[in-house]
């Protein structure tokens, strides 16, 4: 089955700086890669996603890049703000397999 690894497990950045979270996946047939943000005690919420036919996607301060050859994808947050503090999860879904496999999460702390 699919295995998703996520790094780092914790990340602290100064407000205004950029944050990068990286994930690798094992199933080369995976074709959908969402990123979820989960604030303490709240539900995971989708912030951005990318499909395997696209190398990069951007939405305001958030971007995701995908390298299919290396089987890794990354979340980039620029101009970080205190409200970006949360746990971020990456996930991957294989082709013909409906199941999302999640990474172990990254706790991002923005230092004012």
Residues contributing to the site for other proteins (CB under 8 A): 4, 6, 32, 34, 36, 42-46, 49, 51, 89, 91, 98-105
Nearer to other proteins, 28 or 45 (CB): 45
As beta bridge partners, residue 91 has: 102
Give the shortest CB-20-to-other proteins separation in angstroms.
18
Nearer to other proteins, 89 or 110 (CB): 89
H helix intervals, the chain:
none
Q: Three-state SS across 98-112?
A: CCEEECCCEEEEEEC
Give the shortest CB-108-to-other proteins separation in angstroms.
15
CA-based nearest residue to 78, from 59, 52, 50, 51:
59
Side-chain-side CA neighbours of residue 92 (13 Å): 27
Nearer to other proteins, 77 or 105 (CB): 105
Give the shortest CB-28-to-other proteins separation in angstroms.
19
């Amino acid at each position: 089955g699919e295995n998703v690894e996520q790094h780092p497990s914790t990340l602290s950045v100064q407000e205004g700086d950029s944050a990068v979270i990286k994930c690798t996946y094992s199933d080369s047939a995976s074709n959908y890669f969402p990123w979820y943000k989960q604030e303490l005690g709240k539900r995971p919420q989708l912030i951005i996603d990318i499909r395997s036919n696209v190398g990069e996607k951007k939405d305001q301060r958030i971007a995701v890049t995908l390298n299919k050859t290396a089987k890794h994808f990354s979340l980039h947050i620029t101009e970080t703000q205190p409200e970006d503090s949360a746990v971020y999860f990456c996930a991957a879904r294989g082709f013909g397999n409906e199941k999302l496999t999640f990474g172990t999460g990254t706790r991002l702390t923005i230092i004012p």
